[in-house]
Structure 1
Amino acid sequence: MPALLPSVIHSAAASHNRTLVGWVSSSIDRGTIDILWSCSITILLCCWVATHPNAAAPTDKWYHRFIDKFNLAMIGLLGPDFLFGIALGQFSSARRCVRLFKRDAHLLNGNQLTYRYAFFLNMGGLHLTSPDFPSGFPITGHQLHYLVKHDHVDFPNLKAMAIDERNTTDTLSRLVTVWQVLWFSVAEIQRVRDGLPTTTLELTALSFVVVMIATSVCWFRKPSITIPQTIPTKGGKLVYNIRANAKEQTHPDLKLEIWYRTPLDFIRDDRWGIDTHWSYYTRISHIIHVRMVSRPVKTRPWNRLPSDQWLPPDQVLIPFGSLILLLFSSSFLIAWNFYFPTKTEQWLWRGFAIYHSVFVVYGGVYYLIEAIRWNKRKPKDSAEGTSGVSTIPHGDTAQDLIRPSTSERNVSPAQQQPTCNQTNPIAGSHWQRWYWITQQRIVSLRNISADKDPDMVMPLRVIVPVTVTCVLYIIARGFLYIEDFISLRLQPANTYESVNKFLPFIGDG
């Protein structure tokens, strides 16, 4: 086919005094298909092999595990920085869990809580069962600490659960990914050293490599667990009695009959603003049946911990996270003076690259602020007072968000007098009724969670700007991906000059 034959085009434009080529077949040097293949494989391996979903629910089918991994891979494609933020939070949570049990080592009954075991606990690998909850529900490491400390359960023999043997991660796939990433990275560095041009697709692949290496470091000790293990309450104790005991001893404000995710929600250290934002938009995706990045939990109590939960990072890890975000945010600006087939494409790339950089930096700053706030208000290495920590974002008080406003309260029939005033606009004019109904619908947008958890409230003044900026970010990412591929239709000829394919830095001659 003519389209598959090498074609050489001599540009007459003075601004591009170079030989340009279209599709280039593979030969001694690399061809167009070689660039497409190596970059695509690198990106896909980074998004797939580097991801580690949480434990599946006991009732999940075999394909649900695949769906969870696919969802994480889609988050990686949406933005590898998102996946890195999730992994950094999970590593921080495991770190806090290890530190917590290290302080109370007498609770371990001779066991040793390693990072692998801490990940296992925080990923929903252990479910608590009781007479009132025979099917059980997942508990975290902090919740296990509370239960053992107050003699509600015995610390389980984690070694007997054979977590390492049950780890189903394909070691070979990891080795293949590491080799591909190293080979690709070294070859690209060699091209820069030799002064050879690079395509935007290669630049995109390199940005994935940097972020996914950091993500893999965070998830290095996280096991791949398919089926969770169970632990019973001591002496057949009811979970209701555990909550009643907590109300008497540690959590006097606990309302015994009210809980949302699991009955042990009052023991937590990980609810914060970033997760509220993420949950809000994943809920929208569930409502419109576009479940590309998150599989909804449909049981109550939850029968698993979603893999895309955002957990707060430890303050000591914030510099590491900031460095990775800065590297990623500036990566697409490197292509500022790359060759593009048209000036329009070049200026569009520059514009979207600037927006991408600003968005990531802005998001990183907000992430940093929320992390610092959370680290300041959290109890130091304590699972006792976590329920007293306010996780409501953006400065709203808990009373403002939990207590309904005058317009939100349910009015009793005796109070529904047909008066035309602002206290009862339904009985007023047509415009008053329309205004009141519109107001109620807008207010209802603050909390669209399935169970109306008050911690999932999004302030109205945040919803609109965040939605607009996120939509623009998705458009920017989409254009960058599309341009990566369509720009290969015309590139400088020396783009296809290859370095030593087997021993980079040695040279070819």
Structure 2
Amino acid sequence: MLLILLAVHLLSRDSIAAPLRHPHDARATTDSCDDINNCRTLFSVVWGCLATIFACTWVSVHPNVPPPDQSSLQLFWRRLKMMLIAMIAPEIMVGFAARQYFGSRELANEFNFSPTHGMFVCMGGFVSSDEHPIATKGQLEDPNFGLELQKAIQIVKEKDITDKSKGDALSKGLALLQGLWFILQTLARTLQRLAITQLEVATLAFAIMNIFIWLFWWNKPLDVQQPFVVGPTTQPDTETVILPVQLPLRARLTGAVFGD
């Protein structure tokens, strides 16, 4: 992100003084605007930046499935913390999303899961009957229970997973378009040697970094609060056990594909 800020600053530093040397160029940022067709107002600049920052943080952040019995306030605070991390250090969030993406692809290729199933495993979307997450390759490769777990996860339909998402391709696409539009608008002003505020430069860096978050988390369901339980299940009037009763009681962070 620092490299992006530096590059944009070097490209635009000559343009910042342009309105002072050329008074006829009324498109510079100012606190007032006498001709709305030829200049920008302070409100329009701030509003465009805040809207883009909001889309780049709140909308693009996809939390993992939370622990059980969390209140609405705890869920809100949990997502707010992720939003603050995305604002302060977006590089961390990009690495976070990239790790989940490549982990989900590895699961999809190795265990014949769909990308959505692989991502749902990484985000803690499948739990045992005692509410322990199934989030490690070791659990899926366990010689006693691994094969049963793989079959149980494959039984869950992809549309049932996406149905848990609070967002869809339209909402994600609109947020992505907002970021792309801001990037194109800022780059156009840079090429035309027009003034660019420091707030716009910072927002541009946020938008570029968050494009990667959107792409990495495109298949990740948004705001899922209840996981799928793939513990022991029996059908009425039958004694067929679909899954084993006992599962590992811990999912260590070491060796996990992803941990919250």
Instruction: Give the shorter-chain TM-score range.
Output: 0.7 to 0.9
1:266, distance to aligned residue in structure 2 (A): 8.5
**Cα distance in structure 2, aligned partners of 1:180 and 1:160:** 28
**Cα distance in structure 2, aligned partners of 1:158 and 1:68:** 27
1:120, distance to aligned residue in structure 2 (A): 0.4
Q: In the alignment, residue 70 of structure 2 is paired with which amino acid?
A: D
Inter-CA distance 21–47: structure 2 relative to 1 (3 Å threshold): closer
Partner of 2:134: 139
Partner of 1:119: 119
Written as runs of structure 1 = structure 2, the 5 A alignment for 1:482-497 is none
**Cα distance in structure 2, aligned partners of 1:127 and 1:121:** 9
Decide whether the 8 Å contact of 1:121 with 1:140 is kept in 2.
yes
Residue 141 of structure 2: SS of its match in structure 1? helix
Deviations 1:161-215 (A, max 9, x none): 8112222215543233223223222221221222212111111111111110011
Partner of 1:220: 218
**Cα distance in structure 2, aligned partners of 1:197 and 1:158:** 54
TM superposition outliers: structure 1 runs of 4+ over 4 Å: 16-22, 233-236
**Cα distance in structure 2, aligned partners of 1:39 and 1:266:** 38
Inter-CA distance 197–222: structure 2 relative to 1 (3 Å threshold): same
Inter-CA distance 189–17: structure 2 relative to 1 (3 Å threshold): closer
Decide whether the 8 Å contact of 2:136 with 2:257 is kept in 1.
no
Larger relative CO (CA 8 A, sep 6+): 1 or 2? 2
Residue 221 of structure 1: SS of its match in structure 2? coil
Does residue 238 of the first structure (1) align with residue 237 of the second (2)? no
Query: Of the candidates 164, 167, 180, which is equivalent to residue 165 of structure 2?
Result: 167
**Cα distance in structure 1, aligned partners of 2:44 and 2:253:** 54
Partner of 2:85: 75
Partner of 2:68: 58
1:64, distance to aligned residue in structure 2 (A): 3.4
Inter-CA distance 160–202: structure 2 relative to 1 (3 Å threshold): closer
Written as runs of structure 1 = structure 2, the 5 A alignment for 1:24-43 is 24-25=32-33, 27-28=36-37, 29-43=39-53
Does residue 49 of the first structure (1) align with residue 62 of the second (2)? no
**Cα distance in structure 1, aligned partners of 2:219 and 2:29:** 47
Inter-CA distance 236–170: structure 2 relative to 1 (3 Å threshold): closer
Inter-CA distance 35–161: structure 2 relative to 1 (3 Å threshold): closer
Deviations 1:348-405 (A, max 9, x none): xxxxxxxxxxxxxxxxxxxxxxxxxxxxxxxxxxxxxxxxxxxxxxxxxxxxxxxxxx
Inter-CA distance 24–140: structure 2 relative to 1 (3 Å threshold): same
Decide whether the 8 Å contact of 1:126 with 1:228 is kept in 2.
yes
Q: In the alignment, residue 231 of structure 2 is paired with which amino acid?
A: P
**Cα distance in structure 1, aligned partners of 2:167 and 2:138:** 27
1:58, distance to aligned residue in structure 2 (A): 2.9
Q: Which segments of 5 or more consecutive residues in structure 2 lack a partner in the other structure?
A: 1-19, 233-240
Partner of 1:257: none
**Cα distance in structure 2, aligned partners of 1:162 and 1:75:** 30
Partner of 2:31: 23
Decide whether the 8 Å contact of 2:145 with 2:244 is kept in 1.
no
**Across the two proteins, how many residue pairs are aligned to each other?**
221
Query: Of the candidates 183, 204, 208, which is equivalent to residue 206 of structure 1?
Result: 204
Inter-CA distance 217–127: structure 2 relative to 1 (3 Å threshold): same
Inter-CA distance 180–165: structure 2 relative to 1 (3 Å threshold): same
Task: Determine what percentage of the aligned residue pairs are the same residue.
Answer: 21
TM-score scaled by length of structure 2: 0.74
Partner of 1:92: 102
Inter-CA distance 174–236: structure 2 relative to 1 (3 Å threshold): closer
TM-score scaled by length of structure 1: 0.40
Decide whether the 8 Å contact of 1:56 with 1:64 is kept in 2.
no
Partner of 1:390: none
Partner of 2:144: 150
Q: Which segments of 5 or more consecutive residues in structure 1 lack a partner in the other structure?
A: 1-15, 103-112, 130-134, 243-261, 272-304, 307-509
Deviations 1:384-442 (A, max 9, x none): xxxxxxxxxxxxxxxxxxxxxxxxxxxxxxxxxxxxxxxxxxxxxxxxxxxxxxxxxxx
Q: In the alignment, residue 91 of structure 2 is paired with which amino acid?
A: D
